[in-house]
Amino acid sequence: MSGGGFPSTRGCRHRQGWLTALLAAVLLSAGSTPVAARLQSTSSNSMEVTRRTLMDNGLGLTPQMGWNSWNHFQCNIEEKLIKQTADAMVSTGLADLGYKYINLDDCWGELNRDSEGNLVPKASTFPHGIKALADYVHSKGLKLGIYSDAGTQTCSKTMPGSLGHEEQDAKTFASWGIDYLKYDNCNDDGTSPKERYPKMSNALLKSGRSIFFSLCEWGREDPATWAPAIGNSWRTTGDISDNWNSMTSRADQNDKWASYAGPGGWNDPDMLEVGNGGMTIAEYRSHFSIWALAKAPLLIGCDIRAIDNVTLGLLSNNEVIAVNQDKLGVQGKKVKKDGDLEVWAGPLNHKKVAVILWNRGPSTATITAHWFDIGLTRTTIVNARDLWEHSTKKSVKGQLSADVASHDCKMYVLTPQ
């Protein structure tokens, strides 16, 4: 049995994201005006970096929530679909729970730029243009996201990338009323993402509009170690697929970078597959729970126009969402592993602790989280709130155990008495 516990902020290396989380929490609790802060990197090059957080573009104090078109629709997107999705986000109540971004992925543009070098919305699928679409989405109280690429073409090769056009494209996005940019990494010029991505970051900051910057270089060059200076989230993994092995492997890959996340910048193990049909209800419950605990972006990837009640129930669990959106902003992580039986945990505001008992094995098993596994003292007495059963066990001492079905999980918030 291997044990973990939470990262200490004393004497630790590679902790700038964790320290920023604490800084932001202090600023928020004190009601202070955000100010620029410089954090001394303790990595091998000892370079001083400016942490881009609420102190720069003001975005990403908590992980982003919304919807993205790719997982379900790939390139099959058009204006009507996006408007209907915005409508459904409101009518289902998801918008009221915090799902605000309606994000276009690849394939929204024409193959070539216009005579002045501008990106052009695809006339056959977005006949009224992106500005009109943004106006519609904004009228619903939501935000519109768009997609580009740090290469000559996007990954689909159906439209231009933004390499060499960063400032021009950022100004275009701002003029359209775009609120979010997902920036992919296909068809590049052979240079490092560390050279290409800061150019778009700076262009967005100079665009005249606050635009959330989501880096997507698939974790190739360990972006958690450098992207906090330039972006609001960064992919730590390759693309997710709608199956158990893909989902669990991305959870594991993302976990190793937990200490770098914090308010203003988040690790991104890719978008949610909940509701797309490739996993069981138990597996989707595990998927959503782990993403929430890990402070991952909660970007719905299914067709919410046709969402079923089970899927809606998973995605609209406000107690699980509250863990993801907790203002302390510390990413939970795997703290204990015994074969296929795992304990994941993380600290929350007001000295609470979120805990997941996760059974990755083939049959029902009992999983126990001891207080020393999850950062509590031996004598602490807690009330344990079950976030999926919506029930509370009072005066729990020393450990928390539950029988957990195969590929399922139990998720709790522990409140010390």
* Residues belonging to the active site: 184, 239
Cβ 393 vs Cβ 386: under 8 Å: yes
Of 407, 399, 406, 411, residue with least CA distance to 1: 399
Judge whether 196 and 188 are in contact, CB under 8 Å.
yes
The token duo for 66 is: 């919304």
Measured N-to-C along each axis, helices 79-91 and 129-139 cross at an angle, to the nearest 10 degrees, of 10
